Structure 1
């Protein structure tokens, strides 16, 4: 059995961004591969009856502070998006289209950096189109049925497996939620032969 961590994430999630900055090094240390699984966090939360932090003002403020704490601990650039919350359906579809055409590496980290480091609004059509073009992905692909069906399947699978938000990780069937559980993710990978 190969070592593998499945990473269910949404570009809307600041904690998915933080996890994404750390996963490649964890994969290197453990010899694991990362299976990137784009999802819509809102669809998962709605399916399971979870509510986001914006419904509780003190929790929303705490999440912003916590995002900054983790970014400092990881030593990564970060600024909380002034557009939060924003619609990520087309951004996440862009990630799936990028996977289908072999341009995921060119799209994925650029999307996270644009949102959580450069405070860009990728829910705005022109900004997303520019990112897709830079990654050499035809913007028309994100409207295709194959992309839509894969996104729906990712969301359904995440819910079926017990996910209730993002980031969610699976290692050998065991679920972990949140960037603050990456040490457990790494331990689970190290236990695998």
Structure 2
């Protein structure tokens, strides 16, 4: 079974498209997804990159481009009217669920992505975020504790630094067999990598 490492940030609309598409590919090729929640702002700062939505010409093009991918793969997307949204606390919640309640991780991640770009909600509003976690069956008091949990903060920082060290400069980014693929427009290369037979390594012991 091959492993797809998926680096993402909830604030990236292309990560939303990629989140849904990569699950289809993983199912088709019987691959495992290793979820890598990172802080895209930290990646941008370290690499000198910036969001295309901050550049008017790129932003206009991106709106058209997102709809093309949405139509191609039948993944409905709506731009969040409250954008830009600071995802620091949102990503800490995702990391915390991954660490402490992994059985709920995919459901929570799906709901958070949906609240960002599926059925958009104002996730800049702390009350709205707490309403969302309550709807998901998470205890708001526990979530509040997670936001200040040093283990959660450290894990998010470690994954972000790991991404930077591996050459990640934007989201979504995937690795298959330690080769990097950036952007949904490169998912056909990810699919090619998944279609290749896994290489098995054996070690011979000489006595």
Shorter chain as denominator, the TM-score bin is over 0.9
**2:169 paired residue among 164, 177, 192:** 164
Once residues 159 and 8 of structure 1 are traced to their aligned partners in structure 2, the CA distance between those partners, rounded to angstroms, is 11
The answer to whether the aligner puts 1:74 opposite 2:78 as a matched pair is no
Larger deviation: 124-133 or 172-181? 124-133
Once residues 164 and 126 of structure 1 are traced to their aligned partners in structure 2, the CA distance between those partners, rounded to angstroms, is 32
Match of 2:158 in 1: 153
**Based on CA coordinates, which of the two structures has the bigger radius of gyration?**
2
Match of 2:3 in 1: 4
- Aligned residue pairs total 192
The 3-state SS of whatever aligns with 1:8 is: strand
The 3-state SS of whatever aligns with 2:175 is: strand
Whether contact under 8 Å (1:91, 1:123) holds in the other structure is no
The answer to whether the aligner puts 1:180 opposite 2:181 as a matched pair is no
Match of 1:125 in 2: 126
Matches within 5 A, 1:1-193: 2-100=1-99, 101-102=101-102, 103-137=104-138, 138-140=142-144, 141-193=146-198
Superposed CA deviations along residues 70-121 of structure 1, whole A, max 9, x for unmatched, are: 1111112211111222100111111111111222022100011111011212
Superposed CA deviations along residues 130-162 of structure 1, whole A, max 9, x for unmatched, are: 222233332121221111000000100000000
TM-score (normalised: structure 1): 0.95
Instruction: Report deviation, 1:60.
Output: 0.9
Runs of 5+ in structure 2 lacking a partner?
A: 199-207
Once residues 150 and 55 of structure 1 are traced to their aligned partners in structure 2, the CA distance between those partners, rounded to angstroms, is 28
The 3-state SS of whatever aligns with 1:36 is: strand
Instruction: Report deviation, 1:44.
Output: 0.1
Whether contact under 8 Å (1:133, 1:139) holds in the other structure is no
Larger deviation: 51-60 or 145-154? 51-60
Whether contact under 8 Å (2:8, 2:40) holds in the other structure is yes
The 3-state SS of whatever aligns with 1:6 is: strand
How well do the aligned residues superpose, as a CA RMSD in angstroms?
Answer: 1.2
